[in-house]
Structure 1
Amino acid sequence: MKSILFCIPYGGSSATAFLQWKPMLEGHIELHPVEISGRGLRYDEQYNTDFPEMLNDLADQVKQYADKVPYAIFGHSMGAVLAYELYYRLVEEGYPAPVHLFISGRPAPNTIAGRKSLLSKMFGQLQHNIFRKNGGIPDEIAKRPELAKKFREVLQSDIRLMDTYSYKPKQDKIRCPVTIFSGMQDQISKDEIQAWESHTINTCNMIWMNGDHFFLETSRGELISIINSTIPVLSSR
């Protein structure tokens, strides 16, 4: 039996950011990137107005499968916040917990609670650095003005959405196994990453990747290899 891997886009991206993962995932994993309104295949739809609306949208997509097949969730940066909140939304509504939760490129939520200006600054830095030659967005976007313009619009929308996010401590800790990825050259501190351990009662593995905030692109092979070996191979029912 295959497990579905739901991948949540990071700020400024869409589900297409994960399409190159498909041939690299092993046979027991089925890739399912979720799409956020206003980008990718949902290009013509309106952007979400706030974080709760975006979370509701993603939850509705995942609920179609969550009580039918085993699943894991991966989220990077903004997507990591959505993955964290999505876990609680699903569990609180009675859906089975994921077999694994992958959190990538994001401080633990309690370490930056209430610091909305920091979130804006983080995405602002991304906007200025994202078009660099190595480790930024694909060349086909940077070279096409209409795509670059759309990218900036999406990123600005995500900045506004993240500034509407308000972390609230949870009564229960995460029950499923968790893996935390962080770039060794990222600006997130070690303490902010290790603080994720306080949010779990199951195993919580910290993996330090070579690279900065975009290590999921520059160290993609290593990242996916870890995911392949972490999501369990399940026997057929």
Structure 2
Amino acid sequence: MIAYDGTETTAPCPWTSGTVRRPGAAARLYCLPFLGGSADFFLPLVRELPGWVEPCPVELPGHGRRLREPAVRDVPELARLLAEVVDRDAADRPFAFFGHCSGGLLAFEAARQLRRRARPQPALLAVSATHPPHQWHLMTAGLGAQPLHRLVPLFRELTAQRALHVSGANAVLKREVSVYLRYRHEDEAPLDCPISVFGGREDTLVLVDALGAWADLSHGRVRERVYPGRHFYVDGQWPDIARSLTRDLREALGPSREP
């Protein structure tokens, strides 16, 4: 199988078939896409990451190359399955999560699933354009209160995403909206890992003012970075995001594992 960077790779399972194998890498970065999106969304990030980070764009059931598979219609269940995959795939190697939009919520819930099982947790949780899970209900309530014309820019951004330009992807998006609108956060102790929070200054879905609440969800250091742009601000910021991610991951690994 050919990986994203053109090199040959073995696929341990459909979830991680896009992993760019770098045997000498210090850590693996599991990347989780937005509502209805595919692993291909992270192609620009893969190209920017240094050799000591092994990129693993995750393909979720019912998405992208797995479009024909049944999708999981419950966030906690999807997080449980993802945690099982990561636990096997990482094989006690250091790893981190990076999720955009709903992918950030899924990454957070997968980290909590791993902790419940007393399994290794991510060295770093990075989230992009993701509303804090314990305030998720505030975002969904705000969406319902907004007039339709206020959401037009967000819909335009979504339809412009190449990761949705495959047969059936728009249907996936419509189906998943209800899945994530039903999500309800359950109170637990904060995570121990640091959290890196990224957002767009003009994002009308995940407001900049809400990002600071991620600090409630970790005992570790929480860094917040805001860029010009809306919900998909990442399209023009991948090089800088990659640099920030690798700096934070290097710090999270600590001196004993620092690349």
Instruction: Give TM-score, length-normalised by structure 2.
Output: 0.78
Task: Say whether residues 1:96 and 2:123 are aligned partners.
Answer: no
2:238 to 181, 200, 220: 220
Answer with 93-102 or 104-113: which moved more. 104-113
Paired residues, what number? 225
Whether the 8 Å CA contact 1:66–1:96 is kept in 2: the answer is: no
**Using the alignment, how far apart are the partners of 2:88 and 2:143 within structure 1?**
31
Q: Does 1:162 align with 2:186?
A: no
Separation in 1 of the partners of 2:44 and 2:207? 29
Kindly report which structure 2 residues correspond to 1:58-207, keeping only aligned pairs within 5 A, or say none: 58-113=82-137, 116-118=140-142, 128-130=155-157, 136-138=160-162, 141=165, 147=166, 149-170=167-188, 172-187=189-204, 188-207=206-225
| Partner in structure 2 of residue 8 of structure 1 | 32
Q: What SS does the aligned partner of 1:231 have?
A: helix
- For CA contacts below 8 A with separation 6 or more, give which structure has more relative contact order: 1
- Hey, what does 1:144 align to over in structure 2? none
Kept after mapping to 2: 8 A contact 1:76/1:105: yes
TM-fit CA distance, 1:125: 5.1
Identical-residue share of aligned pairs (%): 24
Question: Per-residue CA shift, 1:170-213, capped at 9, x if unaligned?
Answer: 1x111111111111111233331111111121110111112111
Q: Give the distance between the partners of 2:80 and 2:220, measured in 1 at CA.
A: 26
C-alpha displacement of 1:52: 2.6
TM-score by length of 1: 0.85
Is 1:229 paired with 2:256?
no
Aligned to 2:53: 29
1:43 maps to 67
Name stretches of at least 5 consecutive residues in structure 2 with no aligned partner: 1-24
Tell me how far 1:6 sits from its aligned partner. Answer: 0.4
Superposed displacement of residue 53, structure 1: 2.7
SS of 2:137's equivalent in the other structure is coil
Distance 1:189 1:137, change over 3 A: closer
**Equivalents in 1 of 2:34, 2:174: separation in Å?**
13
